[in-house]
């Protein structure tokens, strides 16, 4: 574990809260201090730390890998930032994109022609972890003259059942 300033601050806050709570049970300062020192790590790592992870929206970022993209579609959100920032798809043909990302998952709808647009491929990136996440991440790859011109990230509401 890496000791950081936020970790030390949070441990101090937990220690003070535990100390104040234990002091309401027993007025002996030496016993209160001893119990607080012993309980603080357990309360922090089994209570506070899991809650921080549940309610924060942090996730690991990974460098893009075609194998990982195809093998683990539910974790594509970890690869997407590198894929978009590096602009590695810009200028690639549909065949090259298909070899890197696999077959598109769906095509965008074009209201002008009232049909699916074969020049706008979409891939689902999975669902970012978090307690209040109600959207899934997606990307749209836009082609013009058989070459990628744009890669757009967007979010789509989660549908948990077929009744929506």
How many domains does the structure of the chain reveal? Answer: 2
163 assigned to some structural domain: no
- Scored b (16 or more CB within 10 A) or e, 17-42 reads ebbeebbeeeeeeeebeebbeebbee
Please report, in tens digits, the pLDDT of each residue of the chain (164 residues total): 677 787 788 888 888 888 888 888 888 888 888 888 888 888 888 888 888 777 776 667 788 888 999 998 888 888 888 899 999 999 999 999 999 999 998 998 888 888 898 999 999 988 887 777 788 889 999 999 999 999 999 988 887 766 64
The confidence score (pLDDT) of residue 143 equals: 94
| CA neighbor of 139 nearest in space, from 117, 121, 162 | 121
- Clarify whether residues 33 and 85 are in a common domain: no
- Clarify whether residues 144 and 91 are in a common domain: yes
What is the extent of the structural domain holding 18? Answer: 5-55
Helix (H, G, I), strand (E, B) or coil at 62: coil
d(CA 103, CA 69): 12
Helices (H), ranges, the chain? 5-25, 29-43, 49-55, 66-71, 77-85, 94-101
- Clarify whether residues 29 and 81 are in a common domain: no
61 assigned to some structural domain: no
d(CA 13, CA 79): 36
| Residues sharing a CB contact under 8 Å with residue 84, sequence separation 6 or more, in sequence order | 139, 151, 153
């Amino acid at each position: 574990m890496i000791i950081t300033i936020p970790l030390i601050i949070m441990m101090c806050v937990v220690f003070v809260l535990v100390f104040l709570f234990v002091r309401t049970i027993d007025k002996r300062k030496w016993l209160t201090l001893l119990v607080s020192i012993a309980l603080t790590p357990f309360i922090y790592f089994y209570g506070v730390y899991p809650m921080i992870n549940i309610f924060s929206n942090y996730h690991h970022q990974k460098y893009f890998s075609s194998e990982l993209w195809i093998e683990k579609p539910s974790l594509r959100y970890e690869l997407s930032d590198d894929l978009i920032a590096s602009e590695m798809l810009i200028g690639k043909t549909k065949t090259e994109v298909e070899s890197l990302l696999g077959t598109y998952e769906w095509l965008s709808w074009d209201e002008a022609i009232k049909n699916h647009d074969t020049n706008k491929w979409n891939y689902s990136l999975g669902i970012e972890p978090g307690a209040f996440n109600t959207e899934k991440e997606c990307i749209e790859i836009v082609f013009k003259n058989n070459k990628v011109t744009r890669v757009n990230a967007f979010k789509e509401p989660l549908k948990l059942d077929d009744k929506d």
